[in-house]
Chain A
Amino acid sequence: MSGFEFSQTAPSLETLRLRVTDRTAGAYVAFEGWVRDHNEGQQVLRLEYEAYEELGLREGERIIAEAAERYGVTRARCLHRLGELEIGDLAVWVGVSSAHRDEAFKACRYIIDEVKHRVPIWKKEHYVDGDSGWVNCERCAEKGSGSLLSGSGGSGFSRDSAAKNRG
């Protein structure tokens, strides 16, 4: 069974919970991320998740493996929804079981934080006022923050060359 998965449909929480049950585990920590009705001052109506699934699954599995190795937990799983979601829907679930609670709390926190930063998932929010936007993408564009490319590459590929046609 894979540690990280995408789902187009709403999962059963009981089914998810059973995936981390274990006779050696004395603690279970879960995180549920829900779709809320507002973000950064705008009223959200619904949203869509899209993923680059092939890389997303690989990166998600790496995160689960890192958490297991760092904290020595018994079982760890993560599921992320894709497609159209409504307010209140479960967007992401992380479940960790371990012998004792401390490592389960830490591993659960590690997994959700890393998933948010590393797994290629994009969120499009549809607002009450009829507008919509890709979270973390549109706002950067509006700011005109200059550099188009940055981050892990750190290569000689210059930001200037990427922006050369912009004038």
Chain B
Amino acid sequence: MPQIHIEYFAILREHVGKNAEELNTDATTAGALFDELDGRYNFPRMAGMKVAINAEFSDWDAALADGDSVVFIPPVAGG
């Protein structure tokens, strides 16, 4: 089962209560991984969430590989 590294930032970090975790998962895409974790943590509802795999923006249907690092990106607010 592939192991995925997940990092949490901002509202998600506070909601989950940790900065990062390792997860052995059957999820084959970033979206499926999000679903799995949403089932566990019941993430706050936000429109416009994005995802990054290995520090690059990615599609939700992008495939995951063992050792990938995934970050869910809530709506940004720089400036």
| Bound pair (A, B) | yes
Closest Cβ of chain B to A107, distance in Å, is 16
Q: Measured between alpha carbons, how far is A137 from B72 in the docked complex, in Å?
A: 13
Chain B interface, number of residues (Cβ within 8 angstroms): 40
B79 touches A92 (CB 8 A): yes
A137 touches B60 (CB 8 A): no
B55 touches A148 (CB 8 A): no
**B64 interface contact, C-beta 8 A:** no
**A115 interface contact, C-beta 8 A:** yes
B61 touches A155 (CB 8 A): yes
Query: Taking each of B29, B48, B58, which has the highest tally of chain A beta carbons within 10 Å of its own beta carbon?
Result: B48
A120 touches B47 (CB 8 A): no
**A23 interface contact, C-beta 8 A:** no
**A162 interface contact, C-beta 8 A:** yes
Q: Measured between alpha carbons, how far is A9 from B61 in the docked complex, in Å?
A: 39
A50 touches B9 (CB 8 A): yes
Task: Identify B50's interface contact among A92, A153, A156, CB under 8 A.
Answer: A153
* Chain B: CB-nearest residue to A153: B60
**A41 interface contact, C-beta 8 A:** no
**B76 interface contact, C-beta 8 A:** yes
Query: Residues of A contacting B47 with CB < 8 Å?
Result: 140, 145-148, 150
Q: Measured between alpha carbons, how far is A148 from B43 in the docked complex, in Å?
A: 9
B35 touches A121 (CB 8 A): no
**A44 interface contact, C-beta 8 A:** no
A interface residue numbers (CB < 8 A to B): 33, 49-52, 54-55, 58-59, 80, 91-92, 112, 115-124, 134-138, 140-141, 144-157, 161-166
